[in-house]
Each structure stands twice: as C-alpha cells, then as structure tokens.
C-alpha cells in the first residue's frame, strides 16, 4: 500500500508500535501558539480531525509497528485504540463515531477494518489475497473507496461502509491512487498512470464512467474544494512540481502558487476560500496557505526541519500538522491566524 501520496509519486513502506505517548497541555504552547500534542521517541503521522472537531486521530510507532491513537486538540485524553500485536495504521474518519484503518491482524498484508472511535466494535470489512488499504470514506459516510493490488498493480475499488457491495472502479495497466471523494459523494477523483505519465481522472462509482480532467505533464494529489467547484492538484507541466487549480470539469487550469521548492499535500479550508499545502523535501519542508480570491501566499512555518501532513479543524480555527522540529515526527496544533 502507498503509505503517503507525495509529489514524487512514490510508494513508501507501512509502519506501527505500542507507544507510551505523553501529551503537552495547551498551556505549554510556544510564543506562536503552537501546541505539541505528542512526545515520544517514535514516529507519529497521519493526523486528522474528527468531523465534530473534538478529537485528532493518528498512528504512532516504529517501522512496521504502528498503532492507532486519538487525542484531544489540547493534548489531553490520549488513547491507544489498537493493541492486537499487529501493525495497525492509516486511520481515517468515517464519521465522528467510526474509523476505518488498515491492519495486518490476519497475516503479513494489510486488510481493511473499522471500529468505533473509542476502539470498540472492531470489524474486518474487506480482505483479499492481495494488499488492501488507503481507505477513504465518502463525505456522507455511506461508501469507502480504497486501493488493492490484487490485479498486480494498484486499482481503485469501492464498497459500502460495512464492506458490502465491493466494486472495482479502475482497470488500468498502470497504477491508480491518490483518490479523493467529491463533496457530494457522487464521484471520485484520482491520479492514474498511463504510458508512464500521470493524469487526473474522475470516476462515477455508480456507472463506472471515467473522465480524464488533467492530462498535461504529470499530475497527482487531487484535492476537491468543499463547495465542489474546484480541484487543486500538483503538476510538473512547467518543469517543477507546483500547485495548480482548475474548475471541477477540468476547465480553467491555472497555477495557484509558486515557491522555490516542490509542492504537495494539499488541504482546503472548509469554506473553500484558502488552500494549505507543503513546500520542500523530506527533511526540510514548510507549510503555506494561499488565498483563492487574490492569490496571497502566507507562510505558516519557517525553519530547517520537516513540517508536513497539515489538516484544518472543522471550524477553521486551528491547524494540525506533523513535525520533527523536536527530533522525531510528532503531532502539533497551531492557531489558524491568517
């Protein structure tokens, strides 16, 4: 399974561990209002806010030993939700009460599970002879789109949130990934490899219709605005991987941001007025926000470490992110003063 979708279109390994993570309280915020939520000697990653904004979900651990955790945005009430002795990672929210994640509980390959937000009611919802994962729930919580390499390369599949009605969505000689749901839950956009080039494609899970919407250069990391009107993506069409935006039908493509490094990891504000992204490389990356109305670029971090995996709180007031500024990857939260 791809551990994360990057501007380089690389697959990276999966991870786990049973961690005794210590939280930093909100009163320990630094002078810029940044709160460190985790404090341990292993890697914390894949942080995301619950739809109600009350929890931050993440996985934590050493290589091949990650487990799933939740923590309050102020660093309190940290809980380990998985402890079966097998790697469990890549958690994402189905709703404020249910989580989908990947686990090697039944062997040395990833299957797809779900559980309640308190760690109870764990269920295997999809298993095959291949590796399955990268599961994303539709905004209405009724469906899940995921990846499987059962055909020999990565293809998209969809199923009901309970694992029923599995359907293959893409049929491609190359790899397909970096999938995201449209806000209305009626279509999925993803990056598709065709003749060694990457394009952005839209697919309808209901009828399987595939529509290429960005084909010039290499394009990946699509992110749909919450109002459904625009798609941001990363492209090297002008020589360097940078952020572009287009209308949801693929028209009116324009470059949105330009920094001195490659750009990736896109995340819209919930009112669709701003786009957050990462610029840099694996060991030195920064967080930026660009305002859609005027193109104003606001740099959120400025250091020589790795700041990545940004996520806006549902009310838009705070931003969670991952950073190794204190020696290893930890979860942080900052005020969204933009």
- Which DSSP state fits 27? G
Inform me whether the pLDDT recorded for 17 exceeds 50: no
Inform me whether the pLDDT recorded for 8 exceeds 60: no
The predicted pLDDT at position 22 comes to 39
The predicted pLDDT at position 11 comes to 30
Give the chain's domain count: 1
Q: Are the C-beta atoms of residues 244 and 251 closer than 8 Å to each other?
A: no
**Contacting residues for 81 by C-beta, under 8 A, at least 6 apart:** 67, 68, 69, 70, 91, 99, 115, 117, 118, 119
Model confidence band, residue 313 (pLDDT cutoffs 50, 70, 90): very high
Q: Smallest Cα–Cα separation from 299: which of 280, 327, 324?
A: 280
Q: What's the average model confidence in pLDDT over 42-53?
A: 95
Q: For residue 179, is it within any domain? A: no
Q: How far is CA 164 from CA 146, 161, 251, 301, 319, in A?
A: 13, 7, 35, 43, 35
The predicted pLDDT at position 338 comes to 62
Residues 72, 92: Cα–Cα separation, whole Å: 16
Q: How many angstroms separate the first and last alpha carbons of the chain?
A: 35
User: The pTM is what?
Assistant: 0.89
Q: What's the average model confidence in pLDDT over 23-35?
A: 59
Q: What's the average model confidence in pLDDT over 48-64?
A: 92
Q: For residue 46, is it within any domain? A: yes
Q: For residue 258, is it within any domain? A: no
Name 99's bridge partners.
Answer: 93, 115
The predicted pLDDT at position 298 comes to 94
Q: For residue 122, is it within any domain? A: no
Comparing 166 with 64, which gets the higher pLDDT?
Answer: 166
Phi first, then psi, for residue 19 (nearest 5°) are -115, 140
Q: What's the average model confidence in pLDDT over 320-334?
A: 94
Residues 36, 268: Cα–Cα separation, whole Å: 23
Q: For residue 80, is it within any domain? A: yes
Phi first, then psi, for residue 81 (nearest 5°) are -95, -20
Inform me whether the pLDDT recorded for 27 exceeds 50: no
Q: Are the C-beta atoms of residues 303 and 326 closer than 8 Å to each other?
A: no
Q: For residue 86, is it within any domain? A: yes
- Percent of the chain topping pLDDT 70: 89
Inform me whether the pLDDT recorded for 285 exceeds 60: yes
The predicted pLDDT at position 106 comes to 84
Sheet holding 167-168, edge to edge: 132-137, 143-148, 155-160, 167-168
Q: Smallest Cα–Cα separation from 53: which of 338, 337, 336?
A: 336
- Render pLDDT for 266-284 as a digit per residue (tens, 0 to 9): 999 999 999 999 999 878 8
Q: For residue 36, is it within any domain? A: yes
Q: What's the average model confidence in pLDDT over 240-255?
A: 95
- Render pLDDT for 298-312 as a digit per residue (tens, 0 to 9): 999 999 999 999 999
Model confidence band, residue 108 (pLDDT cutoffs 50, 70, 90): confident
3-state class of 196 per DSSP?
Answer: coil
Q: For residue 42, is it within any domain? A: yes
Inform me whether the pLDDT recorded for 263 exceeds 70: yes
Q: What's the average model confidence in pLDDT over 6-23?
A: 33
Q: What is the domain extent for residue 22?
A: 1-114
Mode of pairing for the β-strands spanning 143-148 and 155-160: antiparallel
Q: What's the average model confidence in pLDDT over 329-337?
A: 93
Inform me whether the pLDDT recorded for 14 exceeds 80: no
């Amino acid at each position: 399974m791809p551990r994360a979708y990057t501007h380089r279109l690389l697959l990276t390994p999966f991870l786990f561990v049973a961690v005794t993570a210590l939280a930093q309280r909100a009163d320990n915020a630094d002078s810029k209002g940044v709160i460190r939520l985790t404090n341990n000697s292993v890697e914390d990653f894949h942080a995301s806010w619950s739809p109600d904004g009350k929890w931050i979900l993440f996985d934590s651990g050493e290589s091949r030993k990650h487990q799933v955790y939740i923590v309050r945005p102020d660093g309190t009430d940290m809980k380990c939700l998985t402890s079966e002795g097998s790697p469990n990672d890549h958690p994402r929210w189905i709703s404020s009460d249910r989580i989908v994640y990947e686990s090697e509980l039944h062997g040395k390959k990833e299957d797809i599970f779900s559980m309640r937000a308190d760690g109870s009611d764990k269920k295997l919802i999809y298993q095959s002879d291949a590796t399955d994962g990268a599961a994303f729930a539709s905004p209405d919580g009724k469906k899940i789109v995921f990846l499987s390499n059962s055909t020999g390369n990565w293809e998209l599949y969809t199923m009901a949130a309970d694992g029923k009605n599995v359907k293959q969505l893409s049929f491609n000689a190359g790899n397909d990934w970096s999938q995201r749901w449209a806000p209305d839950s009626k279509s999925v956009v993803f990056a598709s490899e065709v003749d060694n080039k990457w394009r952005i494609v839209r697919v309808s899970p209901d009828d399987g219709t595939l529509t290429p919407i960005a084909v010039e250069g290499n394009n990946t990391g699509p992110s749909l605005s919450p109002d459904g009107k625009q798609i941001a993506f990363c492209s090297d069409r002008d020589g360097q991987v940078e952020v572009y935006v287009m209308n949801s039908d693929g028209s009116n493509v324009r470059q949105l941001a330009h920094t001195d490094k490659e750009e990736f990891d896109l995340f819209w504000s919930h009112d669709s007025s701003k786009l957050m992204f990462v610029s840099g490389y694996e060991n030195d990356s920064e967080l930026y926000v660009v305002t859609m109305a005027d193109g104003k670029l606001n740099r959120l971090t400025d250091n020589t470490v790795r700041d990545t995996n940004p996520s806006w709180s549902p009310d838009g007031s705070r931003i969670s992110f991952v950073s190794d500024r204190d020696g290893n990857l930890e979860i942080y939260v900052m005020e969204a003063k933009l």
